Amino acid sequence: EHLQSLKVNTQRLMEDIHYTSRWGTGEKWGEKPTETGVSRLALSDADKEARDWFIHATEALGCHVTIDEMGNIFAVRPGVKNDKPPTFVGSHLDTQPSGGRYDGILGVCAGVEMLKVLADNWVETEYPVGVVNWTNEEGARFPISMMSSGVWAGYIPLDTAHNAKEVHPGTTTMGAELKRIGYMGKMPCSHESMPMAAHFELHIEQGPLLEMSNKKIGVVTGVQAYKWLQVTVKGRETHTGTTDLKSRADALLTAAKMILHSHKLATANNALASTGILHLKPGSTNTVPGEVTFTLDIRAQSDEAVARMEHLINHDFHKIASGENVGGLNPGCPLDALNTGCTPGLPCTVTIKEFFKSPATNFNPLCIDAVNRAAHSVLGPDSQDLVMEMTSGAGHDSVYTNKRCPTSMIFVPCREGVSHNPAEFCKDEDCALGAQVLLQSVLRFDRM
């Protein structure tokens, strides 16, 4: 019927994606993004520009725009009936310190394109539809993942979010930056103030599975579990020229063993473990580091697997700090692998603090079904070969919306599975296919 023939405009969608990448080409954290890269940390001046663009674009398309006290921006297009909450399309405009122009941005721009298609074709939906830009999804500048959808869902306290300190250089807070760029809205940040009938999110896969299997659309059924830990190792600052190896409590050497061990634990437990931030004190060529802090991002398909990793990390890191061997985990990994060739030194201490967790997520069957049907109708006769169900390795705001309203996601392939990298790339035709499936998913849900 008529609605199934509605088509997104590929060129117009890509123009928005490329146009918005102009905000975030400056230096950040000492790195200048390459030609395709974007550096648009949450609540930076560049983020403010992108937000202003989003508001102008959606208001020009007849939306009513509301901003909440986390700076989440909700653009709502009325339906024929307005006694039910809007069906939202959402994602984020913030990026990693050296990110690309697709992660998050594709989802928001596809939402804006949906509004344009509806307007061009004089379509009135049964119920309102909306597009939401969530604040600080990346958790790069303020280190809580999916922060503002988390506050909206009631899982992260507003105070915790407003008081979150920026990672670098650490001089300001989320709340102060919201005020500085004029995006601390008046509406309470809550699913009660801004209820949703559903939330659909289009995103690049950020991994290689679709591309490797020659698929065009991933129907996302869930998201793996993850947990972020901060590890602090304390040793003793001493002179590098006068302190023999046996008399050192080297916090960095100890941390290095821990990071290596976390990798081995991940290998043995079908999990992931990554260190992305590491600081050492005092940071001098000729002083043995006395204190090291580093982050660990632990991920696995099940909550149990993440809990097991956390248990092993706690158990083994204390042993490593005290200089004990932690044993072989894998065939071919000798029992004393961590200490082979190392001179036993003096013990260090370790403390481990969790600062974020997100349990495994299963998306809503109705929404998954809407995406599945939309994908098969958009791709036509060959769709069996081009669509696959999959889970997400990355976190997304949909994790939190799923706790308060029916939610699911659509993935499209990205080149070599690379993301969180300026080289991130998604073909125009794949961006447009994803946007087409998104549009049709929303229209299906509107009439369900």
Residues that bind ligand GLV in the complex, under the rule CB under 6 A? 137-138, 145, 394-395
Here's the x/- map for Mn ion, 357-396, by CB under 5 A: it reads as -------------------------------------x--
Kindly tell me the burial class for residue 258, based on how many C-beta atoms sit within 10 Å of its own C-beta (0-12, 13-18, 19 or more).
buried
Residue nearest to Mn ion (CB): 104
68 binds, among Mn ion, ligand GLV, none (CB under 5 to 8 A by kind): none
Instruction: Please give the angle made by the CA atoms of 104, 109 and 113, to the nearest 5 degrees.
Output: 150
Write down the least CB distance from residue 95 to Mn ion, Å: 7
Write down the least CB distance from residue 382 to ligand GLV, Å: 31
- Contact segment (CB under 5 A) with Mn ion among 61-69, 131-139, 148-156, 210-218 equals 131-139
Determine if 397 is a binding residue for Mn ion (CB under 5 A).
no
104 binds, among ligand GLV, Mn ion, none (CB under 5 to 8 A by kind): Mn ion
Closer residue to ligand GLV in complex, CB, 39/145: 145
Closer residue to Mn ion in complex, CB, 58/98: 98
Q: Which of 32, 178, 23 is nearest to 108 (CA)?
A: 23
Which position has the token pair 């009513």?
64
Between strands 291-300 and 225-234, the pairing is antiparallel
Determine if 103 is a binding residue for Mn ion (CB under 5 A).
yes
The CA-atom distances, in angstroms, between 15 and each of 92, 156, 288, 336 are 17, 35, 52, 56
Closer residue to ligand GLV in complex, CB, 85/393: 393
205 binds, among ligand GLV, Mn ion, none (CB under 5 to 8 A by kind): none
Which position has the token pair 């929404």?
367
Out of 33, 104, 130, 207, point to the residue binding Mn ion (CB under 5 A): 104
The CA-atom distances, in angstroms, between 253 and each of 134, 192, 194, 276, 333 are 39, 49, 49, 17, 19
Closer residue to ligand GLV in complex, CB, 138/316: 138
Amino acid at 129: V
Residue 409 pairs in a beta bridge with 201, 220
436 binds, among ligand GLV, Mn ion, none (CB under 5 to 8 A by kind): none
> What angle separates helix 10-20 from helix 428-446, to the nearest 10 degrees?
110
Binding site for Mn ion (CB under 5 A): 103-104, 138, 394
